[in-house]
Amino acid sequence: MPSIMLFEPEIPPNTGNLIRLCANTGSALHLIEPLGFSLSEKAVRRAGLDYHALTHVHRHANLEQARTAVAGRMLAFSTRGTTRYDRIEYRPDDVLLFGPETRGLPDEVLESLPASQRLYLPMVPGSRSLNLANAAAVAFFEAWRQLNFEGAQ
């Protein structure tokens, strides 16, 4: 099952929404510190409702620690990506990496991956970016669809 990884997330409701998404899909959520909030914040709890206990949430001190702890191919999502998200073949061990809401993934993170692993979601010209939780859900469901919704009813 692919997992979702957030690099230095800043907005509690986005993380709460992704906790809920991961609980309902059987995926793991990886959070790379520093977080822009506490996981006990009301906004995270409200968005995640009672799903937090049903989700495997892992915290990592930095990206290097996360890469060591999580096996699988890292796929970075960015408006500066070079490969459209639906033009790759997803694998069960893929890690879908998303950057902070206000600035996206740093150049050094993107450049550390091959162009084929720097993905983007299409948008109309002049658009800045999609909401983090929405973008992660779109990407995750494409990966899961390609894997025949493994584990779903």
Token pair for 40: 């006990």
The candidate with the shortest Cα–Cα distance to 40, out of 63, 5, 12, is 12
pLDDT score at 93: 97
Give the H or E element holding residue 54: none
Report whether 105 belongs to an annotated binding site. Answer: no
Contact 85, 64 (CB under 8 A): no
39 vs 98, residue with greater confidence: 98
* 44 confidence band (pLDDT: 50, 70, 90): low
Residue % of the chain over a pLDDT of 90 = 75
Residue 80 clears pLDDT 90, i.e. is over it:
yes
Report whether 27 belongs to an annotated binding site. Answer: no
What is the reported pTM? 0.91
107 vs 49, residue with greater confidence: 107
Token pair for 39: 């996981």
Contact 15, 23 (CB under 8 A): no
CATH for the 1-145 domain, from 3.30.930.10, 3.40.1280.10, 3.30.1360.20, 3.40.50.720: 3.40.1280.10
Report whether 40 belongs to an annotated binding site. Answer: no
d(CA 96, CA 77): 7
d(CA 106, CA 101): 12
